[in-house]
A = this chain, B = another copy of it.
């Protein structure tokens, strides 16, 4: 398979999500046009993306829903179970721990860690909270694939360095900072403020277009 561009990689989860919905509804085949409509993209881009994965549809039939879902699921590593810990049991950490749907894809949260184990919001919800000082021992005793960074910005770099030094290979970062981590660490950022500012930009542009009319 050819090397996939970042843009294609970002679209893979969307394809996977739509194919799963179709499969659940009992749909066996789907055209590039319909998949494009669902994704808000052209049929031509869909064909290009999927052909880049080494899959092809059939004229007049389209793609086999289950097979394409399986191909993309394998690319995303979804045949394995992934274990996660969450650093920071505040509102973001708790929301991630409670988010439905991760477990369905095989992402299992083992524990949350916080400086203050009495944090009410997470405790109330029956989640396992450990003091941050237990982190080292926990990582020796458990295989942890992913560390979720949900601590304040000022603590994020230090926390991420600590878990990667202890062998965690993937970091899902919710703190509004750009982490610098050792090579070979997979990092994906969810910068909520950045996302809100992109929305603000779109609003500003829409308002300018109105003014010009």
A111 adjacent to chain B (CB < 8 Å): no
Q: How far is the CA of A77 from the CA of B12 in the complex (A)?
A: 31
Given contacts A77-B200, A78-B200, A202-B170, is CB(A188)–CB(B193) below 8 Å?
no
A131 adjacent to chain B (CB < 8 Å): no
Cβ of A188 and Cβ of B202 under 8 Å apart?
Answer: yes
A100-125 Cβ-contact flags toward B at 8 Å (1 or 0): 01100101000000000000110011
- State the number of copies, please: 2
Contact residue range for chain A? 35 or more
Cβ of B172 and Cβ of A196 under 8 Å apart?
Answer: yes
Cβ of A146 and Cβ of B39 under 8 Å apart?
Answer: no
In chain A between 55 and 100, which residues have their CB closer than 8 angstroms to a CB of chain B?
75-78, 82, 90-92, 94-96, 98-99
In chain A between 172 and 213, which residues have their CB closer than 8 angstroms to a CB of chain B?
172, 176, 178, 180, 184, 186-188, 190-204, 206-207
Cβ of B176 and Cβ of A101 under 8 Å apart?
Answer: yes
Cβ of A170 and Cβ of B193 under 8 Å apart?
Answer: no
Stretch binding the partner chain, chosen from A13-21, A42-50, A158-166: A13-21
Cβ of A191 and Cβ of B13 under 8 Å apart?
Answer: yes
Residue of B nearest to A145 (CB): B203
A143 adjacent to chain B (CB < 8 Å): no
A33 adjacent to chain B (CB < 8 Å): no
Q: How far is the CA of A107 from the CA of B193 in the complex (A)?
A: 10
Residue of B nearest to A74 (CB): B204
A25 adjacent to chain B (CB < 8 Å): no
Cβ of B40 and Cβ of A178 under 8 Å apart?
Answer: yes
Cβ of A17 and Cβ of B98 under 8 Å apart?
Answer: no
Q: Cβ of A145: which chain B residues have Cβ within 8 Å of it?
A: 203
Residue of B nearest to A121 (CB): B121
